[in-house]
Copies of this chain bind each other. A is one copy, B any other.
C-alpha cells in the first residue's frame, strides 16, 4: 500500500490526492483499494514504462467516453511522466479512428482545459 501511495503521488500529483480526500467520508476503504490495486500492483510492475502506461490510460478513457473527470486526472498525469502536449493531442486525435469523432473532440476539449490550467499555474509560480 505504501508503494501505491508513492506511485500515486508521482503520477497523479494533487489531482490524485483530491480523489482520495473526496472518498474519505463515503468510502475510505475504496481509497485503500485505489492505492493497493491500480497503483501498488499494476503501475508498480516493471514490465511496462510509466510513460507507456499513461498512453494506454489516456487512450482507454478517451475511447470509453464515460470517465471525463478521470481522463483529466490522467492528462495531467501524462504530462507528469513526460508525454508532451503535442503527443497527447496526437493520441486524442487518433481516437477518432477507433471510437469516433465525438470521442476525439471531447478528449481534445478536456486537454484544452488541462493545458490551460497548467499554463496559468506556471505563470503564477513565476510571479
Residues in A lying within 8 Å of B, measured CB to CB: 19, 22-23, 25-27, 29-30, 33-34, 36-38, 41-43, 45, 47-48, 52-53, 55-67, 69-70, 86-87, 89-106, 108-109, 111-112, 115
Contacts and interface: CB of A to CB of B under 8 A. Distances in A.
B33 A93 contact: yes
Main secondary structure on chain A at its contact with chain B?
Answer: helix
B63 A19 contact: no
**Number of this chain's copies in the complex:** 6
Nearest to A113: B26
Contact of A109 (B22, B37, B62): B22
Contact of A64 (B38, B98, B105, B111): B98
A124 to B, nearest CB: 20
